[in-house]
Amino acid sequence: MPLRFNTCPFCHEKIVFTIEIEDIDSSQYPAPVYILHKSKSCGKTSTFYVDSLLRVSYKELEKKPGAIKTLETTK
Ligand SMILES: [Zn+2]
pLDDT at res. 19: 98
Examine residue 30 and say whether the peptide bond preceding it is cis (omega within 30 degrees of 0).
Answer: yes
User: What is the chain's pLDDT, residue by residue, as a tens digit (75 residues)?
Assistant: 799 999 999 999 999 999 999 999 999 999 999 999 999 999 999 999 999 999 999 999 999 999 999 999 996
The sign of the torsion formed by the CA atoms of 44, 24, 31, 20 equals positive
Domain count for the chain? 1
Distance 32 CA to ligand 1 centre (A): 18
Q: 47: how many CB neighbours lie within 10 A of its CB? A: 19
Beta strands 14-18 and 56-60: pairing type?
unpaired
pLDDT at res. 68: 97
Q: 4: how many CB neighbours lie within 10 A of its CB? A: 17
Distance 11 CA to ligand 1 centre (A): 4
**pTM of the complete model:** 0.95
pLDDT at res. 75: 64
pLDDT at res. 1: 79
Q: Which domain holds residue 23?
A: 3-72
Distance 67 CA to ligand 1 centre (A): 19
Distance 36 CA to ligand 1 centre (A): 8
